[in-house]
Structure 1
Amino acid sequence: MRISIVLPAKNEAEGLRRTLPKLATCQPGAELIVVDDGSTDETAEVARQHGACVVSAPYSMGNGAAIKRGARAASGEIIVFMDADGQHDPAHVASLLRRMDEGYDMVVGARDASGQANVGRSAANGLYNHLASWMTGHRIADLTSGFRAVRADRFREFIHLLPNGFSYPTTSTMAFFRSAYSVAYVPIPVAKRLGRSHIKPMRDGVRFLLIIFKIATLYSPLKLFLPVSLGFFAVGLSYYAYTFATVGRFTNMSVLLFSAAVIVFLIGLISEQITGLTYLAARKEHD
């Protein structure tokens, strides 16, 4: 099968100088696509010098947007996404492809703790992995890894669901599990990146919190909303038992808590139906 390797790049000239020659050696028959996300350095020129196809944007649209543009431009039946900053060793592409040969629809390169940017990021990713594993019922070793191989036709089913920012790995992983497409994980070491990271702690701290809610809404909203609803109901019932025993009446606070339980449950139920319709529409649109 033809392989396309997509590298989103923003001011990654130095990383590409190291990564592209190794890719050409390790995967000589692969189509190399560098998506230049509004770079102000020599990213596009370096990519062309090393024989890569360059998809350029006049201004930066985000990592996820670059992934989408690269996926549309790719002609291969399997697409490998990897960083252009030198963190991902091109030699490990073969490990992902070997698992794809076993029939998987997506294979993700899972980083260990040493491959995380810092302790905070490592702890956050650990939380996401545990939450996503609970939501899906499958062990998810690395929810946010950007090093992954996918079957192109499967991936394009959900391309309009992908955000333009950095959380495309979360969205694509949960979409594949939701659609019963098989996902495997291959442990990989990650090198220190070349150049500066485009992730900003203050801005992306809020983004990481939103990822938690995205995990639920992309897979099964009711699985998150139902426990919250039951929590409100349990607190309301306990408070009612307390007030009935002490003052002998049903208080407004109990009404409020019971109402919150019903509202949260209904929101989860409606969200579940919307999620199902979203994936159904995605499948029909792709077909």
Structure 2
Amino acid sequence: MGISIILPAKNEAEGLAIVLPKLKVAWPDAEIIVVDDGSTDETKSICAKMDIEILSNPYSMGNGASVKRGARIASEDVLVFMDADAQHDPIYIQALIDKLNQGYDMVVGARDSTGQANFGRGLANGFYNRLASWMTGHRVLDLTSGFRAVRASKFREFLHLLPNGFSYPTTSTMAFFRSAYSVAYVKVPVAKRLGKSHIRPIKDGMRFLLIIFKIATLYSPVKLFAPASIFFFLLGLCYYGWTFYFEHRFTNMSALLLSASVIIFLMGLISEQITNLTYKRESLE
């Protein structure tokens, strides 16, 4: 079973200088593709010196866009994604492949608490993991890990769902769970990244907040809309009880709150149908 190893890279020359030699030694027969996302450092020259295939974006298109472009040109049956910042040691690719060969469709290299960039990121990732576990009904050990092996044909089914920026791991994991493809996790150690992180705390913090809602609407919208509908229904019911007791009338606010609960619930049902259509696989026959 051949593998294609895809590394999205933006100004990761320092990390590539360490990772690429290890990859060539550990996986001499693998197809290695570096997707250069508009780098201004020595990323291209390092790949050229090591005779590594490089796909260059004409401008910075985002991490997710680089992953999608790499997945489209990869020629092997299994895709391995890993960061180019030297956090992941290529020797652990074998553990992912071994697990994949047990019948799984996607295997993710899960970080422990020591592999998080900082305390805040660790808390955020822990929250995402718990949210995803609740949404899917499966234990999700690392929702945002960029180190994973996946069957190419199945991964390409969801390219249209993946964002061009961060976070393709979140979307791809939830898409696999939603489509009843098997996902497994393998614990792997993670080193401190080389170079500067491209995560911007404030801007990306807001973006990750939106990802929380995206996870819910991507997997099962009813699980997001139903609690909101119940909340507005109970609020409207309580408000009606209070106004009826003290004012002996049914107020416009009570009607608004109760109507909102019905509207939200119906929106959830519609969203659930749209989600089902999104994941409906077209027949190849």
Residue pair 1:85, 1:193 contacting (<8 A) in 2 also: yes
**Shift in Å, 1:248:** 1.4
Dislocated runs of 4+, deviation >3 Å: none
Give TM-score scaled by structure 2 length: 0.98
Distance in 2 between residues matched to 1:270 and 1:44, nearest whole Å: 47
Deviations 1:177-196 (A, max 9, x none): 01000000011111111110
Q: What residue identity is the alignment partner of 2:65? A: A
- TM-superposed deviation, 1:286: 7.3
Residues 38 and 58, structure 1, Cα contact 8 Å, conserved in 2: yes
Superimposed CA distance per residue, residues 43-73 of structure 1 (whole angstroms, 9 cap, x where no aligned partner)? 1121122232111111110000000010011
Residues 114-147 of structure 1 deviation map (CA, whole Å, 9 limit, x = unaligned): 1111111111111111111101100000101100
**What is the aligned partner in structure 1 of residue 202 from structure 2?**
202
Query: CA 1:285–1:165 in 2, change beyond 3 Å: closer, same or farther?
Result: farther
Structure 1 residue matching 2:172: 3-state secondary structure: helix
Instruction: Measure how far apart 1:278 and its partner are.
Output: 1.2
The answer to whether structure 1 residue 256 and structure 2 residue 260 are counterparts is no
Give 1:7's aligned residue.
7
Counterpart-to-counterpart distance in 2, 1:48 and 1:175: 35
Q: Which residue of 2 aligns with 1:37?
A: 37
| Residues 108-187 of structure 1 mapped to structure 2, 5 A cutoff | 108-187=108-187
Q: State the partner residue of 1:69.
A: 69
Specify the alignment match of 1:266 in structure 2: 266
Q: Deviations 1:154-202 (Å, cap 9, x if unpaired)?
A: 0000011110001101110010001000000011111111110011011
Report the equivalent of 2:101.
101
Q: Which amino acid aligns with 2:133?
A: S
Partners of 1:142 and 1:9 lie apart in 2 by: 21
Provide closer, same or farther for how the CA distance between residues 146 and 285 of structure 1 changes in structure 2, counting only shifts above 3 A: farther
Identity over aligned pairs, percent = 69
Distance 1:166 1:87 in 2: 17
State how far apart, in whole Å, the 1-side matches of 2:167 and 2:180 are. Answer: 21
In the other structure, the counterpart of 2:48 is 48
Q: 1 CA distance for matches of 2:264 and 2:85?
A: 43
Go from structure 1 to structure 2 and tell me whether the alpha carbon gap of 1:60 and 1:93 turns closer, same or farther (over 3 Å shift). Answer: same
> Aligned partners of 1:6, 1:22: CA distance in 2, in Å?
14
CA distance in 1, matches of 2:166, 2:177: 19
User: SS where residue 91 of structure 1 aligns?
Assistant: helix
Q: Which residue of 1 aligns with 2:242?
A: 242
**Partner residue in 2 for 1:284:** 282
Normalising by structure 1, we get a TM-score of 0.97
Structure 2 unaligned regions, length at least 5: none
C-alpha separation in 2, matches of 1:254 and 1:195? 56
CA positional deviation for 1:285? 7.9
Moved more, 153-162 or 116-125: 116-125
Runs of at least 5 residues in structure 1 that lack an aligned partner in the other structure: none
- Give me the whole-angstrom Cα distance separating, in 1, the residues matched to 2:114 and 2:240: 50
Alignment match, 2:223: 223
- Which deviates the most, 21-30 or 196-205? 21-30
